[in-house]
Amino acid sequence: MTGNIGARRLILLAALAVVELLAIIIVYQVIASIECRLTEMELACRALRSMTARGLAIITALALFFWLRPASFRRLAGLVTVQPGASTWWAVHIAGLILIFLPLPLFGVEAINLRFLPSLAMMGTGAMIGAVGAFLATGREGAWLEWLRGDGFLLPLVLTGALLVPDLADSLRPLWYLQALTDLTFALVYLVLLSTGADVWANPDMHLIGMDGFNVQVGSPCSGVEGIALISIFMALYALLMRGEIRQARYWLVLYPLALLTSWTLNVLRISLLIMIGAWVSPDHALNGFHSYAGWLLFTLLAIGVLAVAHRWRWLHRQDVSPTEEPPLSRDPIVAQIAPFIVMMISGLVAQAFWPDPESGYPLRVAMMVGVLIWCLPALRQIPWRMDGIALVAGTAVGVGWLVTAQPDMSVTERGPGWIMVRVFATVALIPLIEELFFRGYLLTRLDRDGWGWRAVALCVSSLAFALLHDRFAAALVSGLVFGLLMLRTRHLASPIQAHVVANGIIAAWAAATMQWSLI
């Protein structure tokens, strides 16, 4: 039981890191897109933008570290249980978050590029304050230091390697200027585009290529060295953590070249898809949407896939080492509370990357959410489902209140019947379950301590976090408070889920009847 408490603290820290990173990406690269060329400190701005890639790399490295060293995770969980951090540090963490997001309401979406220096100062200071608060709220300083000493300070080495991934990519960029590699990549992109039957235009001397009036220069930003850097860093980390269990010669001489070849092939397809999107969908989206998000996302997924292959390919491992059997994560209720929400957030970034109108990518988002919920089904079956009349009444009040306080929207967006069915299904059946699992099932429950004071803090913090996810902050805050009170009243998730389903059902029915999709 003691270890479980510490494990939950660590999972909370990891979940917060993922969710907050995704929120920062959405706010500063989607809602208020920072254009470095328009700022007064272009180099500092580009360094800030690289923090997205660094954050993804660090989170992936942490997951890799604890996946391959479960004993280290259990020891840390025990230490933070014995030496828990003071709860007041969560207030410090929240203050840091507020400082990170403060430039948006302070300067506005349009003016944030012109006020980049104070924005950078607030974001940087907030990040440091927030990180310190989260770590010290999870465990005392002595617990972290004791664990780091006992683990040979290996984790800082792992995190340093992940932090330097963009810098490694820059150092590898001269590879792109090898004439044979550049010409071969260019030729393969040309062949892929030709296979579509379109009229392809190319200037091999300047590496210009395009079709249907959309042309790009296949230069160093399209080289794919980011993928090479990610593969190299994570394969090196895996080799370090598994140094006594894998056959290093086979690993580096066979799997590594195969991984680099796969990365390079994926990059050829990425460049081709970029041109197709620019020619057939939207030039602006190709350059500012797909080009901004797809690269690091695809290469990170590829790196994870390569490591999964390495871990399961027994030919790479010594025969006298047998893997330890761990219980499946799909049965862990904490994972079931967090994973669907993370997938929902990631699916939003995927839609931003591949569709000029992200709403058009909603069917894919639904498929991703359904997939993770099916995976978590063994844990979800443990929830005691029961009808709650008060929850149904509360949900009706929330739904009606949401509609009454909505601003009139006279615009009508034409959507096909298939899209409408998928959107309504997700709004009524998926979103309430996913959001309640995270905000009430996980966040509110974890913050709830003994006494009404802590209960009020848990209710307010979880409701504020819920409101930040929605465009209509005030209405969402009230809704979150209602759902949170239902959770505190019954102590099981069935009540807030039912209320949320009823509320969204009313809103979705009205949106479908009036074609006001902005309501959902």
Which pair of tokens denotes residue 146?
């004791």
What stretches in the chain show pLDDT beneath 50? Answer: 1-3, 321-323
What total of structural domains would you count in the chain?
Answer: 3
In the chain, the amino acid numbered 73 is: F
Considering the domain architecture, whether residues 5 and 146 belong to the same structural domain is answered as yes
Considering the domain architecture, whether residues 305 and 446 belong to the same structural domain is answered as no
How confident is the model at residue 390, as a pLDDT? 93
How confident is the model at residue 14, as a pLDDT? 76
Beta bridge partners of 200: 211
User: What is the CB neighbour count within 10 angstroms for residue 421?
Assistant: 13
* Residue closest to 337 by CA, chosen among 440, 460, 491, 463: 440
Considering the domain architecture, whether residues 200 and 151 belong to the same structural domain is answered as no
Q: Which helix (H) or strand (E) holds 374?
A: helix 362-375
Distance CA 482, CA 479 (A): 5
Considering the domain architecture, whether residues 100 and 191 belong to the same structural domain is answered as no
Last residue of a domain, one of 307, 323, 339: 323
Distance CA 504, CA 470 (A): 13
Last residue of a domain, one of 108, 128, 163: 163
Cα distance from N-terminal residue to C-terminal residue, the chain: 41
Considering the domain architecture, whether residues 131 and 201 belong to the same structural domain is answered as no
Considering the domain architecture, whether residues 474 and 412 belong to the same structural domain is answered as yes
Sheet of 214-217: strands edge to edge?
200-203, 208-211, 214-217
364 falls within a domain: no
Provide the CB-side half-sphere exposure for 456 (13 A, CA).
3
Distance CA 173, CA 164 (A): 14
Cα-based angle 93, 94, 97 (whole degrees, multiple of 5): 90
Beta bridge partners of 216: 209
Considering the domain architecture, whether residues 274 and 193 belong to the same structural domain is answered as yes
306 falls within a domain: yes
Helix (H, G, I), strand (E, B) or coil at 14: helix
* Residue closest to 449 by CA, chosen among 5, 146, 114, 153: 5
Structural domain boundaries enclosing 408: 383-519
Considering the domain architecture, whether residues 35 and 137 belong to the same structural domain is answered as yes
Cβ–Cβ under 8 Å, residues 503 and 399: yes
What is the per-residue burial (b if ≥16 Cβ within 10 Å, else e) of 112-141?
bbebbeebbebbeebbebbeebbbbbbbbe
Distance CA 357, CA 354 (A): 9
Considering the domain architecture, whether residues 11 and 154 belong to the same structural domain is answered as yes
User: What is the CB neighbour count within 10 angstroms for residue 321?
Assistant: 12
359 falls within a domain: no
Question: What is the CA 12 to chain-centroid distance, rounded?
Answer: 15
Helix (H, G, I), strand (E, B) or coil at 121: helix
How confident is the model at residue 433, as a pLDDT? 95
462 falls within a domain: yes
Considering the domain architecture, whether residues 10 and 154 belong to the same structural domain is answered as yes
Last residue of a domain, one of 323, 345, 366: 323
Dihedral, CA of residue 201, residue 203, residue 209 and residue 215, to nearest 10: -80
Considering the domain architecture, whether residues 142 and 198 belong to the same structural domain is answered as no
The backbone torsions φ and ψ at residue 208, rounded to the nearest 5 degrees and listed phi first, read -100, 135
Provide the CB-side half-sphere exposure for 43 (13 A, CA).
0
Computed over every residue of the chain, the mean pLDDT equals 81
348 falls within a domain: no
Q: Which helix (H) or strand (E) holds 209?
A: strand 208-211
Alpha-helical regions (H) of 220-331: 225-241, 248-250, 256-280, 283-285, 291-312
Distance CA 389, CA 392 (A): 5
335 falls within a domain: no
472 falls within a domain: yes
Distance CA 185, CA 121 (A): 41
For the chain, how many residues are written?
520
Beta bridge partners of 317: 246
In the chain, the amino acid numbered 6 is: G
Cβ–Cβ under 8 Å, residues 76 and 147: yes
Which pair of tokens denotes residue 435?
């959001």
Considering the domain architecture, whether residues 184 and 139 belong to the same structural domain is answered as no
Which pair of tokens denotes residue 416?
């096909």
Contacts 24+ apart (CB under 8 A), 33-41: 33/288, 34/112, 34/113, 34/116, 35/113, 38/113, 38/114, 39/113, 39/114, 39/116, 40/114, 40/116, 40/117, 41/116, 41/117, 41/120
128 falls within a domain: yes
Dihedral, CA of residue 374, residue 375, residue 381 and residue 387, to nearest 10: -40
